[in-house]
Structure formats: structure tokens, C-alpha cells
Structure 1
Amino acid sequence: MSIHKKLVLTFITFSAVLIISMAILIKWSFQRGFVDYIRQQDSQTLQEITPDLTRFYAEQNGWGPIQNDTRRFYRLLRHFAMMRDDPDATGNPPPPGKVPFHLSVFLIDPTGKLIAGRDPKSQIIEQQAITVNGNVVGYFGLGERHRPPNRHDKRFADQQGKQLALITLLALLLSLLFAWPVAKFLVKRIQRLVSQVRHLSQGQYDHQIKVRGGDEFATLAQHLNDLANTLKQTEQSRRKLVADVSHELRTPLATLRAQLEAIEDGVHQYNDDTHARLHNQVMRLHNLVDDLYQLSLSDLGALQYRKQDCELDVLILNAVQASLPAFDQAGIELTLDDELPDRSTVFADPQRITQLFSNLLQNSLQYTDTPGKTRVRCQREGNRYLVEFEDTAPGVSDSQLPQLFDRLYRAESSRNRDHGGAGLGLNLCKNIVQAHQGSIEIHNSRLGGIRVSVHLPVST
């Protein structure tokens, strides 16, 4: 069954249950109210006829003419009713008709003995005392109904029931006429979303849905559009990564091939310089492949982290001391400003944090002109530790700063394939920091280069 039919069926079922329930409640309320209405009418008639019975008793000096004569008693009641409804007809006898009461009527003496009408026994609804010259001469009242409403009442009730049934059917028909286009409209919006998902599954990421309204469907459509943009960017990044990696691999391989062919052709002799050039290209390949392997493990979540409480100042000091010989050889001054308090504990993997600091120091070493300076500063800021790596020229433009974390990206001022890396180190650093619930940012340095800020949470 299609979703359109399911929605229509759902609307109809809900409407039918609601309408039928309302019809039953209305019918019950009408029947109960109709009976109460009849009783109120009878009670009013009872109060209006009681004075007539009082006058009748006074004129007849008793109940003799109607005592034990129920039919004459009812005719008398009809006569009183006609005189009340039509005062001009006092001279004519009232036409035959029904008793102006819908319940049992009785007339009893002061002792409770039945004079006329139906014996109420204990089923007395209401009664009025008949008083003559200050003495109670009887009681006129209404007893419980011993029969259903008369044919006029029943006809009225049946007519109301039929009208209610007709209204119920009409409401069901209107709900169907309403449910069909509404369900079609909703299904049409769902079909647009399904079509967008189909485009995404086929790799058509440029296709967008027109977002209309502010309901959940519009929100879902906007999310699908965002997903299409994300998938498009991911696909572009994947293609760019493949192209950049192949290009990075071709450069050292081409250099190695040219050097080996030159040696084979006798153009160059294999000496220490040739050995150094070959070794450099092999190390570039090794570093590139190792960085790609580390990034792939990080992306898959397979990069292992053995976290423990460790002293952050010790990790920073060890990384700086290990890098000092390379900085001294390159003619770049490396300084450490340790402003951390005693027992600066972080819950981290000491090996990965050391790898993080070493990568940032190596990045500064590779992309800082000689003579230059690199300064490492660390301090505590609230519930976080701040570690900054700041170096001298060359710097990068503000527009290029956010792209430095992209894989295989290098700014124009530092694209030196003989001295620079492959552009994967900062991306790996970002993954390590995020795995420790920290953050990393890059800004321009006051020294003329760049400033990398690492925030790590304080161990609790």
C-alpha cells in the first residue's frame, strides 16, 4: 500500500472515530436532555393546573365528581389545559386530546389514599398540596413514567437521530474530501525528499531542493541540501587528495629515477653527494607514506591512544630538548617560556602528545627562514592548558590560515619540496588534539611567522 493511501486511511480512520464518538455523545446528551425537558414541562404544567383543581374542589364541595373516575379526571385536566392555552374558548367544551402530561398523574387525599389517576406508590417525582380555606384537601402530583414517550415525542427523537446520522455521514465525506488532497500534498513533499536522496546515491551532489516553509519537511530538505554540499566537498577533497598524493609521490620517484639513470649512463659518479640526494628523496617517500598511514589510522579510529595522567611541562621540555640540535644546526633560535604551575597534569597519551609537539616543532623548523626564532610558551587558562608555538618569517595571508590544516596544502611562501614536508603534519596534529578533547588554532605571529595555539583540558 502506498504512503498516500496510508495517510488517507489514517485521516479517515481518525475522523471516523472522532465523528462517531461525538455523534454518540450528542445522542446521549440529547436523549437525557429531552427527558429532562419533558419533566420540566410537566412540572410547570403541574404548578399551573393546581390552582384550577383548588377552584374545582371549592365549587364542587369535594372530589365527588371525579373520585374513582380516572377518565373524567383526565378530561378535567384537558379542559383546564385548554382554558389556559385558549382563554376565548371557555364557553366550548375542549376537544378530545392527550393528557397534557407525559408522566403519570395522580390525585390523593391528605391521608395518601388515591382519589383519581395512577397510583404513584413510592415513585413520586413531584406533588403540589391543594389547600382550601387553609386546610389541605389533597395532593396533585407526578409519578414515575410507566410507558415510553408518546408517538409525537418518539417521532421527534427519531427525526433528530436521522439528522444526526446524516450529519455524521456528511462529516465523513468532507473528511475524505479533505484528507485526499492533504495526503497528496504531503506525499508530494516526501517524494521530493526521496528524489533528492536518489540523486545523492547516484553521486549527483549539485542537485538542490527548493526549501519552502519552516516545518519539519523544510528542515529535512535543508539538511539534505547541506548533506549534498558536504558530500560534494568530500568528493572534491578525495579527488584532490588522490591527485596531490600522486603528485607528491611522482616528484621524489622522478628524482630517484633521474639520479639512478645518470649514474647508469656515467653522467654522475656515485659519491657522497649523490648518496645524500638519493637518501633525501627516499626519506621524503618514507615520511609521506608514514604520514598517510597515520592519517588513515586516525580517520578509521584505529589510531591507538593509551591515556594516563602525565605532566604536561615534562612532555614539552622533552620535545624541545630533542629538537634543539636540529634548530641549532639550522641557525634558528628555539626558546621555551614555561609558565605552568607545579603538577600540570593532563589525561593524555604521552606518546601522541609528544608526537604532536614534535610535529609542530618540525613544521616551524622547516618553514622558518634562517636566521630565525621559534618560541614555545605554555601556561594555564582556567580549566585548560595553553601551549603556543610562534616563529618568525615567512608568514601566510589571513585567507590561507584556515587552509593550513587541509591535507597536502602548503602556502605559496613555503612551497619548497626540497626542505618542506608534504603538508600532512598539521592535519595529523589536529586529529591528535581533537582525540584529547582539545582545540588547535593558527594565527599570524607577532614575530612575523605563524602562531599555533593548542588547548588541552586540565586533568580532574
Structure 2
Amino acid sequence: MLQTLRSKILFYLLLISMIGILLVSFFIQWGFEASFKSYLDRNREKKIERVIVEIEKDYKKNGHFTSDPVFNLLHEHAMTDQLYFQLFDRFGRLQMDSSKIRGMLNSLGLTEPVTIGEEWHTKSYTLKVDQTVIGKLVAIYPEGLIDDEHTFLQTIQLYIYGAVCLTIVLAILFSMLFSKKLTLGLKKLSFAANELQQHNLSVRIPLVGLPTEVKDLAISFNNLAESLAKEEMLRKQFTGDLAHELRTPLTTLRSQIEAYQDGVWEPTHERLQQSHEELMRLVRLVNELEKLLAAENPQIRLEKIELEAGSVLAALWDMFLPVFNEKGVHLDIVEPGEEEMFFADKDRLVQILSNVLNNALKYTVEGKNVRISVLTNEEGYVGFQIVDEGSGIAEDDIPHIFERFYRGDKSRDRKTGGVGIGLSIVKALMDAHQGMVKVKSTVNIGTSITLWFPREIKN
């Protein structure tokens, strides 16, 4: 019992609704009955006061008690309100008694007979004229409600009970609808999660009609499913690209070796050199994969030390100036105006900057420029910005350039000898440093890559 979320929500909604309805109905009924009885008591007191005023006025006018019009007033209250009076003079002698009318009405069947145990209440009032006591008036009336009053109160109670029953029915209906609507999104999420577990990566949760909290959860799930689908696509693409990268040199080597074996080719120095180049291409590919796996290893240990950006630029100048001069590309290094200190693993830093500079050199033609400078920001980072005047990257390709083997131009890396892993290594190492990579590029104009390193070691 109460195993599902919907049953629990439904139970507690109904429990709270029932408690609220019962408490409200109790207080309404109790408050109305008390207010109604208070109203009847005040109304009775007003009637008694009216009788007293009429008796005192009549006595003052005539000098003694007269039967008209006082008795008519007492008779009226006895007939309509079951309010009876006994009038005594100052010597205690009974002058008028309307209580006898009840017995007469009972004998005629005009009122209900007196029930056993019925209680009557009496209350005495002193009569005065000009501060002189002229007698006493005793009011007699039944405890509780009389016939019409009791009927009226029962009618009101019946309406309250009807309203309570209707409210309970509505509470049940709306609780069922609300619990169903609230759990509908969770059921959709559960179904989609099961589909995702069955490797249905195309499953998505419709967002229409979901509560805000569940909608946020559904959006997160859809983003997760989309990310998994993208990762699956990249995995398949990586497998295909890797097989392609391996197949090309292996096919070439196979054909060359078979040619040597069949005596078609003589193993001359030039042909052996070609075979060696294909073999080295395989070696480079394996080495790059090993570097990528090492960079993406979550257990990678970085030996972070405090470095100065200017000295890093000087080391890059000595390292890369010969290869830039050999290709005829101008390397421009902008020294920082003051010392800029940051923390990084020196060997990994050189690996990161070397990969980016090698890429800039590959895609920058002779006579063009590559510039590297140091930037700072107010968020506690020091950046190395490498700007080239190369072929640039299409806007649609920029989000994917850090993926393994990704090529916007499928033939571009082959022409330059790359295997499409260098920037993947850069991204993995930057993540290990808790740094950031920002890329801007325009086709046929150039590319700007900024590598941000933290000034302090982060936990």
C-alpha cells in the first residue's frame, strides 16, 4: 500500500483535504449554532423589555394594572414565541398569567405536548414607575430552541452537510487529477530513462503540459540524451576515422611488401624510404593516440609550478623560430609589459603551446604572420593568445575542432600530415589544468586561440 508516488500524493492530499473540510465544517456549524442561540437570546430580551415598557407605561397612565392592552401583548408572545409571563403586584399577588395558554393550546392540539424532562427557564424583572417598585414580572420560556427555530437550525445543518459532502467529492476528484498530472511527467521520465537504458538514444521527453520543476528535469534529461547520442555518433566516427587512418598506410605497406616479395620491385633506397615513411606514419598515429589517452586520464598528475609568461615566450621563440623561418612564415612574439605569474605543469604547458603553434604553422602559407602574446583578465587567469593568418575555420566547425579525428575539410590534415588529434590533446590538458580555451576564426582571414591558465592552484 502507498508504494507509488501517485498513491502517496493522492493519500496525503485527501488526508489534508478531509481534515481541513471536517475542521472547517465543525467550526462553521458550532459557530453558527452559538451565534444563532445568542441572536435568539438577544431577541427574547428585546421582547421582554418591550413588555416591561408597555406594563410600566400602562400603570403610569392608569395608576393600576389593567388587562388591556397588556394582556393582548402577553397573549401574542405566548401564542407565537412560547414566551410566557406572570405579572405580580408589589404585594406579590398574581395579576396576569399567560402560561396557562400553553395548556389550552396543548388540549386543542395546536402545539406539541410537553415532553418528559423538558426544562423551562424563568427570569424575574422588577417593575418601577418613578423609582417606585410597582410589581414583578416573571418571564417563562423553554430551554433550547422552539419548533421553528429548531427546524431552521436543522435546515442550515443539512446545507452544511451537503456542502461538506460536495467538497469531499470535489477534493477526491481534484486530488486524483492533480496527482495524475504531477506524476505524469515523472512517468514520462521513467519511461524515457528505460528507453535510454535500452540504447534508444533518440528518445526525448515532450515538455508540453509539464510543471516547471519537472520540465527542468525533462530538459536536463533531453540534454543528456542528446549528449549521449552525440557521443555515440562521435564514437562511431572515431572508430571509422581510426580504421581509415590505419588502413591507408597499411594498404600501402602491404602492396609494397608484396611487390618486393613477387619481384616486381627492387628494394632500392628510395622505395625503402617510402615504406619507412608509411611505417612512421603509423608510429606517429599510435604515439598521438597514446598522448591523447594519457592527457584524458582522470588520474593524470600535473607537477604544477609557478611560471613567468615572458620566459615561456622566450623558450617558444628559441624552439619554433627555425621551423617558421624554414617555411617562410613570420613568427611575432609580443613580450608582456610586466611579469605575469601563473601555475602550470611546465612540460604539459610546452606540449599545449607546441600543438597550437604547429597547427598555426601548418595552415599559414609562406609570407604570412603568426603572433603570440600574453593576456590577463580580472578573473585570475593569464592567457596565451596565438593568432595566425591562415585559412581559418568555418563557424559550424569551431565547436567540433577539439573532437578526435574531426576535420572540417576532410583532405586538409592529410595534405599537412596531421591525424586530427593535436587539438584533442590540447583540450584534455587544459581541462586537467582547470584552464579555458577560447577560439575565434574567420575563413580565409585567420584563427585566434587563447589559452587561459589560472594564476593560483585551484582545489
Does the residue aligned with 1:405 lie in a helix, a strand or coil?
Answer: coil
**1:149 partnered with 2:144:** yes
Provide the C-alpha distance between the structure 1 equivalents of 2:361 and 2:239, rounded to a whole number of angstroms.
27
Query: Which residue does 2:32 correspond to in 1?
Result: 30
Contact 2:364 2:388 in 1 (8 A): yes
Contact 1:297 1:303 in 2 (8 A): yes
The partner residue of 1:389 within 364, 371, 386 is: 386
The structural deviation recorded for 1:401 is 3.9
The structural deviation recorded for 1:81 is 3.5
User: Can you give the 5+ residue segments of structure 1 that lack an aligned partner in the other structure?
Assistant: 66-74, 86-91, 109-129
Q: Which amino acid aligns with 1:27?
A: Q
Query: Which residue does 1:254 correspond to in 2?
Result: 251
CA 103–408 in structure 1, closer or farther in 2 if over 3 Å, else same: farther
The residue correspondences of 1:58-77 to structure 2 (distance < 5 A) are 58=60
CA 388–132 in structure 1, closer or farther in 2 if over 3 Å, else same: same
The structural deviation recorded for 1:168 is 1.9
Contact 1:46 1:141 in 2 (8 A): no
Query: Which residue does 1:133 correspond to in 2?
Result: 130
Contact 1:375 1:390 in 2 (8 A): yes
The structural deviation recorded for 1:20 is 0.9
Q: Which amino acid aligns with 2:302?
A: Y
CA 213–106 in structure 1, closer or farther in 2 if over 3 Å, else same: same
**1:203 partnered with 2:208:** no
CA 81–234 in structure 1, closer or farther in 2 if over 3 Å, else same: same
The structural deviation recorded for 1:235 is 1.3
The partner residue of 2:438 within 432, 440, 445 is: 440
CA 29–141 in structure 1, closer or farther in 2 if over 3 Å, else same: farther
Query: Which residue does 2:190 correspond to in 1?
Result: 194
Provide the C-alpha distance between the structure 1 equivalents of 2:121 and 2:343, rounded to a whole number of angstroms.
91
CA 202–134 in structure 1, closer or farther in 2 if over 3 Å, else same: same
Does the residue aligned with 1:319 lie in a helix, a strand or coil?
Answer: helix
Query: Which residue does 1:269 correspond to in 2?
Result: 267
The partner residue of 2:237 within 234, 240, 243 is: 240
The partner residue of 1:318 within 315, 318, 325 is: 315
Provide the C-alpha distance between the structure 1 equivalents of 2:25 and 2:45, rounded to a whole number of angstroms.
30
Provide the C-alpha distance between the structure 1 equivalents of 2:11 and 2:414, rounded to a whole number of angstroms.
69
CA 440–260 in structure 1, closer or farther in 2 if over 3 Å, else same: farther
Contact 2:182 2:211 in 1 (8 A): no
Does the residue aligned with 2:418 lie in a helix, a strand or coil?
Answer: coil
**1:96 partnered with 2:101:** yes
Q: Which amino acid aligns with 1:15?
A: S
Provide the C-alpha distance between the structure 1 equivalents of 2:262 and 2:14, rounded to a whole number of angstroms.
89
Does the residue aligned with 1:313 lie in a helix, a strand or coil?
Answer: helix
Query: Which residue does 1:40 correspond to in 2?
Result: 42
Deviations 1:215-240 (A, max 9, x none): 33444444444333322222111100
Q: What is the root-mean-square deviation of aligned Cα atoms in Å?
A: 4.1
Deviations 1:167-224 (A, max 9, x none): 3223212333344445445555544333333332222233444432463344444444
Query: Which residue does 2:282 correspond to in 1?
Result: 285
The partner residue of 1:107 within 119, 125, 146 is: 125
CA 179–396 in structure 1, closer or farther in 2 if over 3 Å, else same: closer
Contact 1:440 1:452 in 2 (8 A): yes
CA 399–318 in structure 1, closer or farther in 2 if over 3 Å, else same: same
Contact 1:79 1:93 in 2 (8 A): no
Provide the C-alpha distance between the structure 2 equivalents of 1:199 and 1:60, rounded to a whole number of angstroms.
103
Provide the C-alpha distance between the structure 2 equivalents of 1:459 and 1:188, rounded to a whole number of angstroms.
48
The residue correspondences of 1:399-418 to structure 2 (distance < 5 A) are 399-412=396-409, 415-417=412-414
Contact 1:316 1:357 in 2 (8 A): no
Does the residue aligned with 1:452 lie in a helix, a strand or coil?
Answer: strand
Contact 1:366 1:421 in 2 (8 A): no
Q: Which amino acid aligns with 1:410?
A: R
Provide the C-alpha distance between the structure 2 equivalents of 1:161 and 1:179, rounded to a whole number of angstroms.
26
The structural deviation recorded for 1:457 is 4.6
Residues matched between the structures, number: 416
Deviations 1:240-294 (A, max 9, x none): 01111121122333344445445555624364x5665455444433443343344
Query: Which residue does 1:16 correspond to in 2?
Result: 18
Provide the C-alpha distance between the structure 1 equivalents of 2:328 and 2:285, rounded to a whole number of angstroms.
25
Provide the C-alpha distance between the structure 1 equivalents of 2:295 and 2:124, rounded to a whole number of angstroms.
100
Provide the C-alpha distance between the structure 2 equivalents of 1:450 and 1:242, rounded to a whole number of angstroms.
28
Instruction: Decide which moves more: 422-431 or 284-293.
Output: 284-293
Provide the C-alpha distance between the structure 2 equivalents of 1:83 and 1:328, rounded to a whole number of angstroms.
127
Aligned-residue sequence identity (percent) comes to 24
Instruction: Decide which moves more: 417-426 or 174-183.
Output: 174-183
Instruction: Decide which moves more: 32-41 or 260-269.
Output: 260-269
The partner residue of 2:359 within 357, 360, 363 is: 363
The partner residue of 1:307 within 299, 304, 307 is: 304
The partner residue of 1:175 within 168, 171, 177 is: 171
Does the residue aligned with 1:96 lie in a helix, a strand or coil?
Answer: helix
The structural deviation recorded for 1:311 is 1.5
The structural deviation recorded for 1:429 is 1.5
Q: Which amino acid aligns with 2:48?
A: L
**1:227 partnered with 2:224:** yes
Instruction: Decide which moves more: 198-207 or 251-260.
Output: 251-260
Does the residue aligned with 1:107 lie in a helix, a strand or coil?
Answer: strand
Contact 1:433 1:440 in 2 (8 A): no
The structural deviation recorded for 1:393 is 3.8
CA 325–405 in structure 1, closer or farther in 2 if over 3 Å, else same: same
Q: Which amino acid aligns with 1:206?
A: S
Q: TM-score, normalised by structure 2?
A: 0.74
Query: Which residue does 2:346 correspond to in 1?
Result: 350
The structural deviation recorded for 1:149 is 1.3
Q: Which amino acid aligns with 2:130?
A: N
